[in-house]
Copies of this chain bind each other. A is one copy, B any other.
Amino acid sequence: MGEMDFSKKLAAAMRRNNSLLCVGLDPDPARMAGRDVGAFNKAIVEATADLVCAFKPNLAFYEALGNPGLRALEETLKAVPRHIPVIGDGKRGDIGNTAAAYATALFDVWGFDAATVNPYMGGDTLEPFLSRAGKGVFVLCRTSNPGSAEFQALEARAPGGGEPRPLYEWVAVRAMSWKSAASVGLVVGATYPDELRRIRSLCPGAHLLVPGVGTQGGDLEEAIRNGLGTPQGGATIINASRQVLFASRGADFAEAARRAADDLRKRIQDALTAARKG
């Protein structure tokens, strides 16, 4: 990980594997029949590395396991081929000197190619991430959870006045305006297809990281259609975690994960072909 420009590495992996699928590496011991987390993830990575454009470990699942969890994350990262980018999903956000410590943790200690961040505190707090040339930064915009409207859908306007627009649109537009050496993308849930289409129209060049297909019920084909940009524009990266990792709880879990990942990969490619035909 980490040595090559994130956007170039992502584009190369997309081409090589003909894939927009990102597999989320979110281990849940309760579904892993006593298997070692590091070994489980290594098997998943080896079974799917030629089918994905990225992997995305969510740090929460490793932190919840304490020190053994963090060792498992190390093992997991070692198993990822160097040509596949890895997105560290931590949704961090904090003030300047603290955000700098998080950027160090994600990009230098762990060596991730990209990271997810939370915009609530303002763009100035994300500067330690944005200043990292060659890295990717995915800003939470419209998240996939059922209650994401509580704040993200509020109609917001500048204190001086002006036309109101939903908060998630503010985040999208402001994120595109931030001075950044890193590649700035957005996290948009497949569970909100209209918002996804709107965000794509506002941000044609941004990579969109799209969770929420599968377990959460988002429509994959609609997400691809609504996330489609210009040919030179940003990619729509479809993340799947549980439906790949836990496709089988038996000894065939890795082969089942491979089948599930390849099915998703093909569905994405078919949807992309259909969407491009218009």
Q: B150 contacts A124, CB within 8 Å?
A: yes
Is A19 located at the chain interface by the 8 A CB criterion?
Answer: no
Q: B104 contacts A64, CB within 8 Å?
A: yes
Is A157 located at the chain interface by the 8 A CB criterion?
Answer: yes
Closest to A178 in B: B150
Query: Restricting to A21-76, which residues have a CB under 8 Å from any CB of B?
Result: 26, 28, 58, 60-61, 63-67, 70
Which chain B residues lie closer than 8 Å to A63 at the CB level?
101-102, 105, 109
Per assembly, the copies of the chain total: 2
Which chain B residues lie closer than 8 Å to A118 at the CB level?
91, 93, 118, 120-121
Which chain B residues lie closer than 8 Å to A158 at the CB level?
154-155
Which chain B residues lie closer than 8 Å to A95 at the CB level?
143-145, 211, 216
Is A247 located at the chain interface by the 8 A CB criterion?
Answer: no
Least CB distance from A256 to B in Å reads: 20
Q: A120 contacts B122, CB within 8 Å?
A: no
Is A78 located at the chain interface by the 8 A CB criterion?
Answer: no
Q: A98 contacts B171, CB within 8 Å?
A: no
Query: Restricting to A82-108, which residues have a CB under 8 Å from any CB of B?
Result: 91-99, 101-102, 104-105, 108
Which chain B residues lie closer than 8 Å to A26 at the CB level?
98
Is A204 located at the chain interface by the 8 A CB criterion?
Answer: no
Q: A192-212 vs B: 1/0 string, CB under 8 Å?
A: 000000000000000000010
Which chain B residues lie closer than 8 Å to A104 at the CB level?
64
Is A123 located at the chain interface by the 8 A CB criterion?
Answer: yes
Known: A63-B109, A93-B118, A158-B155. A123 touches B101 (CB 8 A): no
Q: Which of B61, B92, B99, B150 is close to A122, meaning CB atoms less than 8 Å apart?
A: B150
Is A167 located at the chain interface by the 8 A CB criterion?
Answer: yes
Least CB distance from A216 to B in Å reads: 8
Is A159 located at the chain interface by the 8 A CB criterion?
Answer: yes
Which chain B residues lie closer than 8 Å to A60 at the CB level?
92, 94, 98-99, 101-102, 105
Is A140 located at the chain interface by the 8 A CB criterion?
Answer: yes
Q: A145 contacts B167, CB within 8 Å?
A: no
Which chain B residues lie closer than 8 Å to A273 at the CB level?
none
Closest to A61 in B: B101
Q: Contact residues of A with B, CB < 8 Å?
A: 26, 28, 58, 60-61, 63-67, 70, 91-99, 101-102, 104-105, 108-109, 118-125, 140, 143-159, 164, 166-167, 170-171, 174, 211, 216
Given contacts A60-B99, A60-B101, A149-B159, 8 further A-B contacts (CB under 8 A): A58-B94, A58-B98, A64-B104, A95-B144, A96-B145, A154-B159, A154-B167, A155-B157
